[in-house]
């Protein structure tokens, strides 16, 4: 008996056709002799009646100040609705199933509302349903605290739920179903020659996700890696094999680079020296931001100017901190972060040179860079994003890998 966790995203549940396709995938898993455990996201995206953003907007339209506790309560409803609807579809097709909230599935969290961490999982209810030959359908993105408070796990939390439950029940595999056929070498909306990836490893999948690829949440890949559970990212709407994410990944690829990603949800800040703020006390900004839980990227420290990049969702808080502490600063919104990801670049000379030369040849200026063993990122103007991504995709021969 193989226990397989199947996670369906909101686009896989948005209408009758897509929900029937999800049922087909569950039924196919049963026919292979598997014991499926299903995780569901809220139905659809913003604008859909029960999407998370729609529910939040409904509450704020009544009164604009929404406390995080109540925000978690209303956000958790979308996935619960999905779980019940999916159970009804399964029953309609002769498949025994039962809906569970995150709390009923045994997910225990802290009380950091809207971005809770999972402390423990008690899989007793899930395993009981499996032993009774029923399909558990679990509302993703949520759990319960020791005090009985409903909490949510942050954006991408349904992916995280899938990996946490897979670890808790010692599942053999995780299948992430979405509206694309797997991971690609880049976003096909921007990169004309983006190619499907047959395989990749956990580290590369995590980095692609962190740098802007939205097919899988990085925390889900990290949990699966820690527990040595392979992940397959595949389409809800056909029977094609998807991208396998595991420890080894694809050792046969012809390039040290696996893929490209980009992020537009950032702003660039410069702090300037002036009377009362100099190089030494200007550096205090990093501790102030850290104390507020704000992550900083693309740091550049000079005598007259300190610059860095922060995610857009922290802009108001960042401005408040800098104003309160008397910093002279400017904020720029017209930048984008592009990242080149690949485990094969470690120890290979010339990767950065190729990036710099490629972008220079097409007339794109690089404003900042950062790098690690598996990622090199560049800060460029947003207007140059598509040109940069396509030029780098060609420069690293990414059209030669994958399927």
Distance between CA atoms of residues 307 and 268, nearest Å: 7
Whether 52 has a pLDDT exceeding 80, the answer reads: yes
**What mean pLDDT is predicted for residues 107-111?**
96
Q: Are 10 and 44 in contact (CB under 8 A)?
A: yes
Cα four-point dihedral sign 65, 68, 69, 75: positive
Q: What is the pLDDT of residue 17?
A: 93
> How do beta strands 142-145 and 107-109 pair?
parallel
At 50, list the tokens. 């029960």
The answer for residues whose C-beta is within 8 angstroms of residue 61's C-beta and 6 or more apart is: none
Distance between CA atoms of residues 50 and 42, nearest Å: 7
> Would you say residue 108 lies in a domain?
yes
Q: What is the pLDDT of residue 375?
A: 92
Domain count, the chain: 1
List the strands of the sheet with 368-371, edge to edge.
259-263, 335-341, 375-381, 368-371
At 262, list the tokens. 């980009």
**Residue 145 binned pLDDT confidence (cut-offs 50, 70, 90):** very high
**Residue 228 binned pLDDT confidence (cut-offs 50, 70, 90):** very high
Whether 106 has a pLDDT exceeding 90, the answer reads: yes
**Residue 283 binned pLDDT confidence (cut-offs 50, 70, 90):** confident
**What mean pLDDT is predicted for residues 368-385?**
93
Distance between CA atoms of residues 205 and 20, nearest Å: 29
Coil, helix or strand at residue 24: helix
> Would you say residue 298 lies in a domain?
no
State the chain's mean pLDDT as an integer: 90
Which domain covers residue 170, as residue numbers? 2-179
Q: Which tops the pLDDT comparison, 328 or 134?
A: 134
Chain segment 24-42, per-residue pLDDT in tens: 999 999 999 999 999 999 9
> Would you say residue 90 lies in a domain?
yes
Q: Which tops the pLDDT comparison, 206 or 155?
A: 206
User: Could you identify the residue written with the tokens 């929900």?
Assistant: 19
DSSP state of 373: S
Looking at the chain, the whole-number percentage of residues with pLDDT higher than 70 is 95
Whether 277 has a pLDDT exceeding 70, the answer reads: no
**Residue 253 binned pLDDT confidence (cut-offs 50, 70, 90):** low
Per-residue CA distances from 249 to 164, 205, 230, 232, 332 (Å): 21, 10, 10, 12, 38
Helix (H) or strand (E) holding 222: helix 218-226
> Rounded to the nearest 5 degrees, what angle is found at the Cα of 247, between the Cα atoms of 244 and 248?
80
Closest among 93, 98, 84 to 136, alpha carbons compared: 98
Q: What is the pLDDT of residue 276?
A: 59
Q: What is the pLDDT of residue 268?
A: 95
Q: What is the pLDDT of residue 190?
A: 92
> Would you say residue 100 lies in a domain?
yes
CATH code assigned at 67: 3.40.1160.10
> Would you say residue 128 lies in a domain?
yes
**What mean pLDDT is predicted for residues 340-357?**
88
Distance between CA atoms of residues 87 and 94, nearest Å: 11
Termini Cα distance of the chain: 30
Chain segment 295-310, per-residue pLDDT in tens: 999 998 888 889 999 9
> Would you say residue 276 lies in a domain?
no
The residues with which 261 forms a beta bridge, in sequence order, are 339
Q: Are 126 and 166 in contact (CB under 8 A)?
A: no
> Would you say residue 400 lies in a domain?
no
> Would you say residue 279 lies in a domain?
no
């Amino acid at each position: 008996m193989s226990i397989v966790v199947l996670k369906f995203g909101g686009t896989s549940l948005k209408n009758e056709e897509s929900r029937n396709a999800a049922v087909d995938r569950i039924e196919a898993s049963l026919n292979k002799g598997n014991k499926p455990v299903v995780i569901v996201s809220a139905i659809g995206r913003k604008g859909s009646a029960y999407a998370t953003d729609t529910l939040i907007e409904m509450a704020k339209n009544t009164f604009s100040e929404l406390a995080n506790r109540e925000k978690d309560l209303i956000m958790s409803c979308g996935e619960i609705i999905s779980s019940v609807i999916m159970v009804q579809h399964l029953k309609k097709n002769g498949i025994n199933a039962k809906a569970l909230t995150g709390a009923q599935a045994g997910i225990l969290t802290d009380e950091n509302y809207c971005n809770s961490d999972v402390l423990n999982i008690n899989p007793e209810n899930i395993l009981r349903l499996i032993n009774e030959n029923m399909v558990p359908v679990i509302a993703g993105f949520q759990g319960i605290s020791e005090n009985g408070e409903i909490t949510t796990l942050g954006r991408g939390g349904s992916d995280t739920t899938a990996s946490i439950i897979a670890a808790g029940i010692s599942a053999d595999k995780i299948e992430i179903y979405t509206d694309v056929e797997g991971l690609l070498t880049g976003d096909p909306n921007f990169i004309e020659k983006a190619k499907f990836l047959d395989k990749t490893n956990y580290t590369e999948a995590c980095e692609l996700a962190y740098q802007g690829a939205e097919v899988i949440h990085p925390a889900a890949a990290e949990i699966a890696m820690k527990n040595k559970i392979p992940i397959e990212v595949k389409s809800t709407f056909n029977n094609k094999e998807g991208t396998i994410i595991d420890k080894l990944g694809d050792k046969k690829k012809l390039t040290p680079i696996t893929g490209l990603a980009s992020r537009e949800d950032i702003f660039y800040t410069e702090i300037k020296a002036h009377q009362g703020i100099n190089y030494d006390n200007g550096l205090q900004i990093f501790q102030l931001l850290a104390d507020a839980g704000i992550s900083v990227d693309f740091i550049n420290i000079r005598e007259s100017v300190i610059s860095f990049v922060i995610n857009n969702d922290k802009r108001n808080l960042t401005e408040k901190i800098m104003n309160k502490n008397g910093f002279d600063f400017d904020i720029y919104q017209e930048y984008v972060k592009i990242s080149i990801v690949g485990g094969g670049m470690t120890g290979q000379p010339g990767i950065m040179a190729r990036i710099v030369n490629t972008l220079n040849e097409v007339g794109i200026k690089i404003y900042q860079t950062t790098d690690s063993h598996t990622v090199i990122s560049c800060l460029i103007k947003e207007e140059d994003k598509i040109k940069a991504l396509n030029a780098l995709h060609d420069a690293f021969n990414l059209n030669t890998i994958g399927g």
